[in-house]
Amino acid sequence: MNILVTGGAGYVGGFAARHMQAAGHEVVVLDNLSEGHRSAAPDGTLVEGEIADGDVVRALLREREIEAVVHFAASCYVGESMSDPRSYWRNNVAGSLSLLEAMTDCRVRRMVFSSTCAVYGDTAAMPLDENAPVRPKSTYALTKHTIEQMIQDFSRAYGLCYAVLRYFNASGASADGAYGEGHVPETHLIPVVLQTLLGQRDEVRLFGDDYDTPDGTCIRDYVHVEDLAQAHERVLEQLPAEGEPRGLLYNLGSGNGSSVREVIRAVERVTGQKVPCSVAEPRPGDTARLVAASGRARHELGWTPRYETIDEVVATAWEWHRLHPSGYPD
């Protein structure tokens, strides 16, 4: 299949693009490199550009005879979305609308959308399955849910076949340490803790320690990025090129929740080093618990995460950060 991967020079997008290429698909990456890295995309696949540039997208879809779009391109920081919401509505929602319009004009009927567990917000029901109520707490989560609804409308009106993948905390790196997480600035917990051990930070700040959890810190489901990549490739096989439009929705997570303090202890076990910490005020938009029930993906896609424990995830991340303390060279 000829596949356009938007945001394919980013963290999860790069892993998914390489995975799909290894599975035999022809991959084209569209990325504006505002957050991504040239060396994170598969060699020879990168086209630098904006999803909001309809002319560029239409030309790519037609010239490369694209049959499916896997859509990662988005701004993705909860705190930033609360302080600068207009950039999130413009980049995430307006950009996705432009992409969907180009796909409709070029008769590209298949889309896989990278969504987020953050759409669920706070809820007492854990682990979360796909029927859990949607209550976004942050602008980031609200933009992602808005895009989901927009995709559903395009499916109903224009025959789009789609899959929405709500994944939990993407983590880890490739087993050989060649590819990993390289955000600037870095806000995700595991790389922040590892950067502290590498001397790049003085300490790890725990944003709140009085949540309604066993140790007072937020609980998240850390799913390995290679397992996420596998799921994207699997779900593409479920989207028909012809016939009635089809809409799929899957949660993707390990099913195991780890608190901030538990992640720090896992890092200490893996590295043999003590992590300095301090407590800070909670961040706006953060929820206390987010843990996946991913039985639907396991049953319908045959998706089985290979990395099941937080120590396994941390070990791959440590190898990447140890070998690449400055991240990607670009």
Residue type present at position 128: L
The gap between the terminal CA atoms of the chain, to the nearest Å, is 30
Q: CA distances (Å), 221 to each of 16, 149, 328, in order?
A: 19, 25, 26
- The residues annotated with a catalytic role in the active site are 140
